[in-house]
Amino acid sequence: MQPRQNLERELEKVKQQILSLSSQVDQRIELVMDALVQRNLGLAQQIIDDDRIIDRLRYQIEDFCFQIIATQQPTASDLRAILAATSLATELERIADHTSGIARLIIRMGEQPLLKPLVDLPRMAVIAREMLKVVIDAYTTRDDRLAAEAITRDDAVDTLYNQLFRELLTFMLEDPGTITRAMYLIWIAHDLERIADRVTNMGERVIFMRTGKLEDLND
C-alpha cells in the first residue's frame, strides 16, 4: 500500500473512532436527562459506572493519533485533522464527565420534590445535543461554516442558564428552606452550560482543521 493510501486509511479510522465516541457521549446526555426527569437513581449510577468506558476510548484515540504522527509524519491539513481529533476526543471525554456530575447530583437529590417543573434544563440539553450533532457533521465534512453555525447556538444555552439562575435565586431569597433544592438545579444547569461550552471548543477545533486558524469564539 502506498504511503498516501495508508495515511488516508488511518485518518478514516480516526474519524470513525470520533464518530463512535461522540455517539456514546450524546447517548449519555440523553440518558442522564431521562434519569433526572424520571428520578431514576439506578440509571444515574449506571452512567457514573460507565464513565470509565469513555475514558478508555478517549485514550485509545489519542494513542492512535500519536502513532500516526510518529509513523506517517503527516503535514498541513492532515496534521491539523489529527490534532483536531485529539482535541475532540478530549472534549468529548470531558462532556462525559459533566454527565457523570449530573448523575451524582441526581443521586444526592434522591426523592426530594423538585423545586420547579423541569423545563429549562431539558431544553438546555436538547440544544447542547443539537450543537454536538452539527459539530460532528462539520468535522466529518470538514465544513468550517457549519462548525461556526453550531457555535452561535451556545448563546441560547447561556440565556437559559442565566434565566434559570435568576429564577432559582429568587426562590432562595424568598424562602431559605429551598436553598438546597435550588442549588442542585443550579449545579445541573451549570454542567449543561459547560457541556455546550465544550461543544463550542470542538467547533473551534473543526474550524482550525479546515482553515488553520485557531480562535476563541466562546465569549
CA dihedral 170→181→198→101, nearest 10 degrees, is 170
Confidence tier at 31 by pLDDT (50, 70, 90): very high
Give me 84's grid cell.
Answer: 483536531
DSSP at 2: -
Whether the predicted pLDDT of 214 surpasses 80: no
What percent of the chain lies above the pLDDT cut of 90? 85
Helix (H) or strand (E) holding 114: none
Count of C-beta atoms within a 10 Å radius of residue 86:
20
User: What is the average per-residue pLDDT within 118-122?
Assistant: 94
Give me 161's grid cell.
Answer: 442558564
Question: Does residue 76 fall inside a structural domain?
Answer: yes
Confidence tier at 218 by pLDDT (50, 70, 90): low
User: What is the average per-residue pLDDT within 16-36?
Assistant: 97
Q: What is the pLDDT of residue 2?
A: 75
User: What is the average per-residue pLDDT within 142-155?
Assistant: 95
| Cβ(68)–Cβ(1) below 8 Å | no
Alpha helices in 73-112 (DSSP H): 76-109
Question: Does residue 118 fall inside a structural domain?
Answer: yes
Instruction: Output the pTM of the full model.
Output: 0.94
User: What is the average per-residue pLDDT within 144-163?
Assistant: 96
Domain count of the fold of the chain: 1
Question: Does residue 12 fall inside a structural domain?
Answer: yes
| CATH number, residue 115 | 1.20.58.220
Question: Does residue 21 fall inside a structural domain?
Answer: yes
Nearest in space to 22 (alpha carbons), one of 46, 54, 44? 54
Q: What is the pLDDT of residue 8?
A: 87
Question: Does residue 219 fall inside a structural domain?
Answer: no
Q: State how far the alpha carbon of 84 is from the alpha carbons of 36, 46, 70, 81, in Å.
A: 33, 30, 16, 5
Question: Does residue 218 fall inside a structural domain?
Answer: no
Give me 36's grid cell.
Answer: 433526572
Give the model confidence (pLDDT) of 158-172 as tens digits: 999 999 999 999 999
DSSP at 153: T
- Residue 196, classed as helix, strand or coil, is helix
User: What is the average per-residue pLDDT within 74-91?
Assistant: 93
Q: What is the pLDDT of residue 219?
A: 59
Domain that holds residue 118: 3-211
Confidence tier at 73 by pLDDT (50, 70, 90): confident
Helix (H) or strand (E) holding 44: helix 41-49
Question: Does residue 141 fall inside a structural domain?
Answer: yes
Question: Does residue 145 fall inside a structural domain?
Answer: yes
The per-residue pLDDT of the chain, averaged, comes to 94
Number of residues written out for the chain: 219
User: What is the average per-residue pLDDT within 23-32?
Assistant: 98
What are residue 30's phi and psi, to 5 degrees? Answer: -60, -45
Torsion sign across C-alpha atoms 147, 153, 155, 160: negative
Confidence tier at 1 by pLDDT (50, 70, 90): low
Confidence tier at 213 by pLDDT (50, 70, 90): confident
Q: What is the pLDDT of residue 140?
A: 95
Confidence tier at 94 by pLDDT (50, 70, 90): very high
